[in-house]
């Protein structure tokens, strides 16, 4: 192929577009894998924190019962229980924030995947439209002009060809035979 031909450049642009599509597909797959890993990690954290929260709540209840029976240490136990309850609340708030963050991340990731998909679709449509336009407006007229030029060239060759040499003697049949 010659770099001066439009087909060469159409082939190069098609290859570049194909590589871009492959890169976009790899990026989409990578985003999906990362989102899946984040969701699994948060789920594992949640399952680990649930028993801890239940144990902390149980300890808080037991601390309150002991404080009723022992008035002398009730002030200390009440403070400890309050701290445990606050810690439980903080843990609950952190878990809730993690859940909300994971939910928002999943929604954002889904939106981005949809946006990338729309971009790929739009790019594909534009490539198809451009290819059809180039075929209709450049390649087909170029073929027609090339055919016309080839016809004109042959016509000029025939028109300006040297006159054939006259035969000035007669040949025998044996002389004409090649063998």
Residues 21 and 13: their CA atoms lie apart, in Å, by 12
152-175: average pLDDT: 75
* 75 compared with 121, residue with greater pLDDT: 121
| pLDDT of 31 | 95
What is the model's pLDDT at position 6?
84
pLDDT at 2: 77
Amino acid 173: pLDDT: 62
Q: Which residues contact 131 (CB under 8 A, 6 or more apart)?
A: 10, 14
Q: What is the pLDDT of residue 29?
A: 96
The reported pLDDT for the residue numbered 159 is: 86
Sequence-distant (6+) residues with CB within 8 A of 56 are 84, 87, 88, 91
Provide the residue count of the chain: 179
**Mean pLDDT in residue range 106-113:** 85
pLDDT at 171 over 80: no
What 3-state class would DSSP assign to 162?
A: coil
Cα separation, 161 vs 144, in Å, equals 25
Q: What is the pLDDT of residue 178?
A: 66
Residues 139, 140, 145, 148, Cα dihedral to 10°? 140
- pTM score, whole prediction: 0.36
Distance CA 60, CA 73 (A): 15
Percentage with pLDDT > 90 across the chain: 23
Question: How much is the pLDDT for 53?
Answer: 81
- Model confidence at 73, in pLDDT bands (50, 70, 90)? low
Q: Name the one residue in this structure whose structure tokens are 């004109």.
A: 152
Mean pLDDT, all residues of the chain = 84
Distance CA 3, CA 9 (A): 7
pLDDT of residue 27 exceeding 90, the answer is yes
Mean pLDDT throughout 27-44? Answer: 94
Radius of gyration of the chain (CA): 42
């Amino acid at each position: 192929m010659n770099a001066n031909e439009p087909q060469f450049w159409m082939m190069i642009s098609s290859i570049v577009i194909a590589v871009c599509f492959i890169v976009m597909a790899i990026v989409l797959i990578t985003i999906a894998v990362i989102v899946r890993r984040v969701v699994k990690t948060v789920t594992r954290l949640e399952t680990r924190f649930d028993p801890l929260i239940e144990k902390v709540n149980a300890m808080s209840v037991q601390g309150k019962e002991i404080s009723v029976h022992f008035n002398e240490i009730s002030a200390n136990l009440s403070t400890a229980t309050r701290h445990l309850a606050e810690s439980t609340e903080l843990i609950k708030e952190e878990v809730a924030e993690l859940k909300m963050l994971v939910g928002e991340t999943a929604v954002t990731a889904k939106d981005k995947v949809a946006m990338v998909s729309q971009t790929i679709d739009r790019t594909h449509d534009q490539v198809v439209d451009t290819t059809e336009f180039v075929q209709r407006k450049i390649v087909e007229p170029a073929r027609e002009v090339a055919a016309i030029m080839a016809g004109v060239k042959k016509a000029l060759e025939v028109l300006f060809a040297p006159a054939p040499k006259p035969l000035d003697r007669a040949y025998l049949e044996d002389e004409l035979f090649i063998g």
